[in-house]
Structure 1
Amino acid sequence: MKPFTECRIFNYFSLAFNQEHAVSQEEFFSSYTEYEQCLYDLASGAVPVSERLRHLLHYKVELVSLKKLSARTEQHPVPIAEFYLDKCLLLVEAEIKLVNFSVQYPETIETPSSFLSSLHWKGTLVNLMELISSLDYSELVTDESGKRLSFAGIVSAFEKLFNVSIPKPYDLRADLARRKKSLSVLLPKLKENYEKNIVNCGIESK
């Protein structure tokens, strides 16, 4: 589990409060969604309760420190940064309460069945990011309520599906846009293989 200081939103808070860079609302929104997914993965993963609580408390320490930094800032506070900082702090405090509740009343907590996949990704992470980004842009992937799944959520799902770690997925996706020859490498190959083999499906099944 990566420390909170490696989360994208932590960097945005630091930039905003130090007046080093103007962070947009879109950047804060997407990084907050990533932060939410990080907490969800921590809660749903096979991590011991003591270890989960330790991570959450460390998150809270960093957030409280940022709150104090914001209060000491001589310039006017950045409203959007203050708004998301408060949301992050409230969210991590809620998670801490849930962990403490599960310890105090273990009989009330249902243990979900762990998702274990036997699949492994043999291609490159860059190619996998092509597939993930395509699904994200298509808006075809949703959660159980029908709400569009975030980019961070799709990344997390693919990590579990293919037993792979995708570090800094937003940076990896940005690298795709900097390709000089072709923006897509995997997708044309998938299309070619699909069209080459799909015509034989009806013949082979007879």
Structure 2
Amino acid sequence: MKYHSFCSFTEIIQKKENPTESELSSAYEEFVNHLSLVASSELSIIGKLRKMRQLELELATYRNGKYSVPDNPTTIYLTKAVALVRTEIDLLHFAVDHPECHAVPPPVSKRGNTTPSLHWKSSLVNLMELITSLDYSGFVTDEKGNRHSFSALVIAFETFFHVTFSKPYDLRADLARRKKSPSVLLPKLKENYEKNIVNCGIDRR
């Protein structure tokens, strides 16, 4: 499996010494985020099922002792991961059997009009820079004020701007490896904002 999050999970499992609770928890959370991205992606039902079955097979292979797996808590996290994958598979089958439950009505504004369709015209790298900065800032929360996960932000921006990130974690890692220009989009946004804010509301009536 070439998924970064899955590789991180299995690397922890294959360690000769017992992994710490913190290592397992972090790797498991990354795996859950990846699973959520696959489930909400624009892949066909068959494509999603294929990926889910591959994940199920790999995880079951580890859990059934084909590889050297330490005792608890590793076994617990493996069992939870397999159960999550099987749940997503059941949900996909349910969506096929009951398409009326899967359909989501278009969002409606307070004025009763359908939300306009927005499309991102810059590069996905620049958009990932924006998503990552919002993730690190902690400014985006749910209705209860809890901080959203990185994967939740990715999914929201994919839906909002009609784009698809094939490997968001890898793309975020690429940003960290930038040397000369760690940030490209944000300085440009700042420049455009400061240049035009003085005319805000004057020339656009």
**TM-score, structure 2 length as denominator?**
0.74
**Structure with a larger share of its residues in helix:** 1
**1:18 aligned partner, one-letter code:** Q
**1:142 aligned partner, one-letter code:** T
Percent identity for Structure 1 against Structure 2: 43
In structure 2, distance between residues paired with 1:126 and 1:107: 34
Give the alignment of 1:78-93 within 5 angstroms: 79-93=72-86
In structure 2, distance between residues paired with 1:9 and 1:156: 16
1:202 offset after TM fit, Å? 3.0
**Do the aligned partners of residues 126 and 111 (structure 1) sit closer, same or farther apart at CA in structure 2, a change above 3 Å counting?**
closer
Q: Which moved more, 1:159-168 or 1:112-121?
A: 112-121
Structure-2 residue corresponding to 1:56: 52
Which of the residues 95, 106, 124 maps onto 2:88? 95
Which of the residues 101, 109, 119 maps onto 2:101? 109
SS of the counterpart of 1:202? coil
SS of the counterpart of 1:123? coil
8 Å Cα contact 2:49-2:89 kept in structure 1: yes
**2:87 aligned partner, one-letter code:** A
In structure 2, distance between residues paired with 1:86 and 1:114: 37
**Do the aligned partners of residues 165 and 94 (structure 1) sit closer, same or farther apart at CA in structure 2, a change above 3 Å counting?**
closer
1:157 offset after TM fit, Å? 2.1
**Do the aligned partners of residues 117 and 55 (structure 1) sit closer, same or farther apart at CA in structure 2, a change above 3 Å counting?**
farther
Give the alignment of 1:187-206 within 5 angstroms: 187-205=186-204
**2:131 aligned partner, one-letter code:** I
**TM-score, structure 1 length as denominator?**
0.74
Structure-2 residue corresponding to 1:122: 121
SS of the counterpart of 1:109? helix
1:112 offset after TM fit, Å? 1.6
Number of aligned residues? 195
CA RMSD of aligned residues (A): 3.3
